[in-house]
């Protein structure tokens, strides 16, 4: 049975990534007009990125007026080479991530999604241990900032097809980060490209699964398409989430496509009519 519109808009948020070329105030107006009540704030190069000017009190007022809440924040990663033991400026990156968490917390966000790394391509095996250490430093600094703000950190599973990369499965991340204060974000599209079983990934995270990124793909490329356009079996995911007692929201993380933002938003806002929950 598909969810009704009311339960869909309560349980599904949408990332402002879709409107990454649009000022955040305009983006939230369009998102609210489409019926969404919750957003994930994008902070990678725009919106709540601390490197960009933002009138936080004015935006907070606007969101209250629109009846839309900040569910979460995606912390910066692009161009930072996170997790690379040679190319990453660790202290600067950790400070930037902490500042993004603090800014988003001022807007009401209570979950911060953190990438354990963001470099791409092969890494010398002699540097693998150092990469893991760098990721632990990133997460540790994010956790410290989040604790100050009453926010929970959720580490996201990454994509590394054809080469080693730390954190491409939640099973690996759960083992590496046993601190119960740290939660996990299952990016369903990433797991699919990685060739992982989504049900097993949900099970591995268990009650520490704090967040979900939902988007679709063809199984080969990380396309960030609206759900129901690709190969992902969403009913299987729904059943797995029910088994672990997940009660969080699902964040639609749809990629920006120039000129197609409103069409993609409309498609996302009508998913409730076709969602295969329980199918």
The per-residue pLDDT for range 141-171, each reduced to its tens digit, is 999 999 999 999 999 999 998 899 999 999 9
75 within a domain of the structure (yes/no): yes
16 within a domain of the structure (yes/no): yes
Reported as a single tens digit per residue, the pLDDT across 170-196 is 999 999 999 999 999 999 999 999 999
pTM of this prediction? 0.95
124 within a domain of the structure (yes/no): yes
Amino acid 1: pLDDT: 41
- Whichever domain contains 150, its CATH number is 3.20.20.150
64 within a domain of the structure (yes/no): yes
Backbone Cα Rg of the chain: 18
114 within a domain of the structure (yes/no): yes
pLDDT beyond 70 at 278: no
278 within a domain of the structure (yes/no): no
Amino acid 277: pLDDT: 54
The number of folded domains in the chain is 1
| Tokens (6 digits) for 98 | 């902490």
Amino acid 109: pLDDT: 98
DSSP helix/strand/coil, 81: coil
Mean pLDDT over residues 29-51, rounded? 97
pLDDT beyond 60 at 248: yes
In terms of C-beta density within 10 A (0-12 exposed, 13-18 middle, 19 or more buried), how is residue 136 classed? middle
279 within a domain of the structure (yes/no): no
CA gap 65, 54 in Å, rounded: 18
Q: For residue 170, give its domain range.
A: 5-273
Mean pLDDT over residues 112-120, rounded? 96
Distances (CA, A) of 6 to 41, 106, 115, 179, 189: 22, 27, 31, 35, 25
113 phi, psi to nearest 5 deg: -85, 130
Mean predicted lDDT score pLDDT of the chain: 95
Distances (CA, A) of 190 to 3, 168, 254, 272: 25, 8, 13, 23
DSSP helix/strand/coil, 108: coil
């Amino acid at each position: 049975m598909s969810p009704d519109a009311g339960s869909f808009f309560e349980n599904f948020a949408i990332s402002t990534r879709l409107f990454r070329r649009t000022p955040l105030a305009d983006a939230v107006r369009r998102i609210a007009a489409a019926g969404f009540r919750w957003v994930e704030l994008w902070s990678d190069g725009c919106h709540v990125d601390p490197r960009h000017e933002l009138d936080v009190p004015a935006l907070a007022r606007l969101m209250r007026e629109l009846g839309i809440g900040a569910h979460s924040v995606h912390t910066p990663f692009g161009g930072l080479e996170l997790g690379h033991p040679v190319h990453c400026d660790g202290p600067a990156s950790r400070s930037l991530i902490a500042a993004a968490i603090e800014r988003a917390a001022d807007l009401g966000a209570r979950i911060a999604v953190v990438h354990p790394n963001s470099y791409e391509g092969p890494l010398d095996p002699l540097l693998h241990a150092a990469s893991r250490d760098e990721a632990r430093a990133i997460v540790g600094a994010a956790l410290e900032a989040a604790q100050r703000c009453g926010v929970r950190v959720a580490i996201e599973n990454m994509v590394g097809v054809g080469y080693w990369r730390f954190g491409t499965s939640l099973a690996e991340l759960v083992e590496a980060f046993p601190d119960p204060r740290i939660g996990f974000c299952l990016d369903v599209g990433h797991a699919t490209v990685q060739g992982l079983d989504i049900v097993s990934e949900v099970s591995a995270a268990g009650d520490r699964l704090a967040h979900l990124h939902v988007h679709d793909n063809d199984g080969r490329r990380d396309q960030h398409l609206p759900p129901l356009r690709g190969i992902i079996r969403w009913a299987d995911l729904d059943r797995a989430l029910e088994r672990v007692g997940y009660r969080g929201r699902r964040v639609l993380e749809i990629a920006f496509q120039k000129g197609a933002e409103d069409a993609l938003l409309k498609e996302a806002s009508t998913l409730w009519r076709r969602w295969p929950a329980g199918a």
